[in-house]
Amino acid sequence: MTREELDKIMDGDSDFGAYKDKSRVILGLRLITKYIPDPDISPAHDIIYVCDADELLTAGLTEEDAAELCKMNWMIDSECDCLAIFT
């Protein structure tokens, strides 16, 4: 998958109604660790930043898993270019 494809997926509609608020954080982290076993995690006040987006692509992130992260309301933070989720 290319970076452009990832950006397009992550810019899509999120539909986390099927996920409980806290479970989407845990499930997203679990999905990310499929590709990066020990990702950099930086929690802030109401957001968690996790690994560089390109690092995740290089590790082999699939379109299906990227779409699943989007459904859980994960995003690519434009300032640090990493995956992030509001808690």
Range of the domain at 71: 3-86
Total structural domains in the chain? 1
Per-residue pLDDT, 15: 60
Q: Is the pLDDT of residue 5 over 90?
A: no
Residues in contact with 55: Cβ distance below 8 Å, sequence separation at least 6, in sequence order: 36
Q: What is the pLDDT of residues 39-75, one digit of tens each?
A: 999 999 899 999 999 999 999 999 999 999 998 889 9
Q: Where are the alpha helices (DSSP H) in 1-87?
A: 3-10, 23-33, 53-58, 63-71
